[in-house]
Structure 1
């Protein structure tokens, strides 16, 4: 196995294949990605606690802003829905990276807030429809979407740390060619996960919910 110095020498000589760059990028960012996931999990706990206290955040936000948190997309085709989801998730993805300009506060807020919303909505749906429904509704696309967002946040946190190192004088430069190269590949992989998530959420998730829970939902509608 190459030592760190040998890998750095190869990078400078141009021998830095994408798979090696991606591996190095993940090694560099994984702690920050884990930190982002922890913030999201903390938000989920808060959301569940708020649900147990009787607070429906969707209703509260709607009352505050005068419109639903999620726009009505029922009239869109599956492809239009996938495009809508990708555009919105890409915005969140980029904001999580660019949160570095707010010293990471925007990124922290995005991770916690999204966790709170998912936890709160998920808790209400679990109570009303069942845990199996929320798992089928979230897991197929969530296994792609959430890691993508955590990667973006991890890139933002790592970039902030590199700025801090530069200010302290322990790093000569915030940006280097190898750093931009390997981090760019990691960001691209994260965004491609968002693409997969958008199409899964638009095409696969609705089909699964309809196939598995149509009778249950019809029964609930008849009861109300």
Structure 2
């Protein structure tokens, strides 16, 4: 089959199954699993807060164990576009890891959701305690409303893929992969990744500007405190 014939068949397939319809179908198929991933993250947040209440500051513990913090040196000195690229690359790795975690029977995907929740809960509680709850909300919400759904979508795809594998093994499904499934899931994955792109630029440009504008005096007062 030549390339022109393949392109024609692809155009015909997409014409019969437009991306918007594919995205709606993909969401209907994956929404339960996305919700499960969000639930695991929420459990992690609670665990992270409880760990701090018990006296465990994960930033300090990780710094002691590894000799460095969670964030590489020089991140704070990056320019906006450089920081956005750094954030996007790192979040894309987590995004793909959550999907590929299906190959570990979902254990890696589940751990990624729990671990991220624990870190956000613990670090967020530390910052809220030192600077204020309003600071952490402004610091997380603008980009978090894009970044977290994207990561939940990736985890949902991983969990759904694992379920389809299980159905195939038990004989209730003829094939794990079908063309419509790959197409609509690919559209969902692309939509999730585009949310990561938006999140990276918001975190690099919008979040720092908001924090500096709204909390400059408070931070200066803390830095000048004896």
The TM-score with structure 2 as length reference comes to 0.93
Paired position in structure 1 for 2:105? 103
1:150 lines up with 2:162 in the alignment: no
Paired position in structure 1 for 2:39? 38
1:65 lines up with 2:66 in the alignment: yes
1:170 lines up with 2:176 in the alignment: no
For 1:69-109, what per-residue CA distance to the aligned partner results, in whole angstroms no more than 9, with x for missing partners?
11121221111000000000000000000001110000000
Paired position in structure 1 for 2:5? none
Offset at residue 66 of structure 1 (A)? 2.1
Offset at residue 64 of structure 1 (A)? 1.5
Paired residues for 1:106-185 under 5 Å: 106-185=108-187
Structure 2: where are the runs of 5+ without partners?
A: 1-11
Distance, in Å, in 1 between the alignment partners of 2:146 and 2:76 is 23
Structure 1: where are the runs of 5+ without partners?
A: 1-10
- Count residues with an aligned counterpart: 214
Offset at residue 13 of structure 1 (A)? 9.5
Distance, in Å, in 2 between the alignment partners of 1:63 and 1:107 is 27
After superposing on structure 2, the runs of 4+ consecutive aligned residues of structure 1 that deviate more than 2 Å are 11-14
Offset at residue 65 of structure 1 (A)? 1.8
Distance, in Å, in 2 between the alignment partners of 1:117 and 1:34 is 20
Paired residues for 1:5-20 under 5 Å: 15-20=16-21
Which secondary structure does the structure 1 equivalent of 2:72 belong to?
coil
Distance, in Å, in 2 between the alignment partners of 1:137 and 1:13 is 40
Which residue, out of 201, 221, 226, partners 1:219?
221
Distance, in Å, in 1 between the alignment partners of 2:39 and 2:66 is 29
Q: How much is the aligned-residue C-alpha RMSD, in angstroms?
A: 1.3
Q: 1:126 to 1:25 in 2, by over 3 A?
A: same
Offset at residue 120 of structure 1 (A)? 0.2
Offset at residue 42 of structure 1 (A)? 0.1
Paired position in structure 1 for 2:95? 93
Paired residues for 1:180-195 under 5 Å: 180-195=182-197
